[in-house]
Structure 1
Amino acid sequence: MEGAYIAGTVKQFKYYKSLGDKTISQLSFSELQWSPNVESNSIAIMVKHIVGNMLSRWTHFLTEDGEKTWRNRDDEFVDSYNSKDELLEAWHNGWDCLFEAIMPLNEIDLEKIIFIRNQGHTVTEAINRQLAHYSYHVGQIVFLGKLIKGSQWQSLSIPKGKSTNYNQEKFSKPKGKRHFTDDL
């Protein structure tokens, strides 16, 4: 089981990235900038926040506090992207930073202590914290995408009314250890 936690976590992060990728691909730049009211964040703003968080948390992950002095968190909630390409470039840079930090980790690293705002976390705790944070925001991104696209939304999971077919396909395979994202 050496490396099972890290390998599984990488797959989970990749899954949430893919949900964001598939949502963003369905939307125009103006749709990415839409928000339901002035108190809510657009997808573009959520992307900017996720990217800012990723760059801060995962840059020099094992050796520096995860809240960098160069991070301007408040600015993450001001939409400043000039194009969908610029947004996508930032999105991919954030995820690249994350994967470059966690993929080389080994089981010994998981018990090391890292800091976020001077609060100590084991590496495992820090990874779990960020996985929960990013899945929370990606869920918001997907929800907004569904609201924006309405009946034109292309489902990212089991489409309504297709659960029986999906389950039949899954149960037609022999029991075995596999990750739910292996078929995606």
Structure 2
Amino acid sequence: MTIGIEYLRVVRERFAVLKGQGDKTFAQLDEEHFHWTMNDESNSIAILIQHISGNMVSRWTDFLTADGEKPDRNRDGEFKMKRMSKAELLDCWEHGWRVFLNALESLNEHDLVKTVHIRGQAHSVIDAIERQMAHYAAHIGQIMFIGKQIKGEEWANLSIPKGGSDAYLQRMLKEK
């Protein structure tokens, strides 16, 4: 196995985990929770979904051949509150992920050294992937944080719960 093939396997796996964290957060929330904000300067989960999806569609449509900032993208509009149902928001989320994951799946190890453009700036494909990893992880972390604030004690933990590190480690070592 080459390093390029391994890299693509790992990033596909990591992005699937990120998507899963968002999915598990959404499953815990009621429709009104998607539109909750702490204050006027805060983003709601709905806004973050619109932004992530808009970014994915723009960046990953014709990824290797067109600039990642498409002329028809309205980035500023992604940050305006639209009253969408939970089902509509989840459709938006899934659409962005479908475009992104299909493009990521289509890449091969030879594509990794190619150059793509984002807002006119040249990036290696690896750099573009890593930029998106950081970007999506930051926003999904925000989504999880908002969900946890809304649910409080009802929040179903998505990773190792507080005070559970030793038990988790023992389970992992036993599975090994």
Shared fold (TM-score, shorter chain, > 0.5): yes
Q: CA RMSD in A?
A: 0.8
Partner of 1:156: 158
The one-letter code matched in structure 2 to 1:170 is: M
Aligned residues: 174
Partner of 2:123: 121
- Greater fraction helix: 2
Report % sequence identity. 51
Cα distance in 1 for partners of 2:22, 2:61 equals: 21
SS in 1 for 2:106: coil
The one-letter code matched in structure 2 to 1:98 is: F
Contact 1:44 1:87 in 2 (8 A): yes
Correspondent of 1:147 among 149, 152, 162 = 149
SS in 1 for 2:136: helix
Contact 1:81 1:87 in 2 (8 A): no
Partner of 2:74: 72
- Unpaired runs of 5+ residues, structure 2, are none
Contact 1:66 1:116 in 2 (8 A): yes
The one-letter code matched in structure 2 to 1:134 is: Y
Correspondent of 1:103 among 105, 123, 126 = 105
Partner of 2:173: 171
Measure how far apart 1:161 and its partner are.
1.6
Cα distance in 1 for partners of 2:26, 2:80 equals: 19
Cα distance in 2 for partners of 1:24, 1:172 equals: 31
Partner of 1:31: 33
Cα distance in 2 for partners of 1:173, 1:149 equals: 32
Q: C-alpha offsets along residues 83-127 of structure 1, whole Å, 9 cap, x if unaligned?
A: 100000000000010111011211110000000001000000000
Q: C-alpha offsets along residues 55-76 of structure 1, whole Å, 9 cap, x if unaligned?
A: 0000000000000000000100
Measure how far apart 1:173 and its partner are.
3.6
Partner of 1:180: none
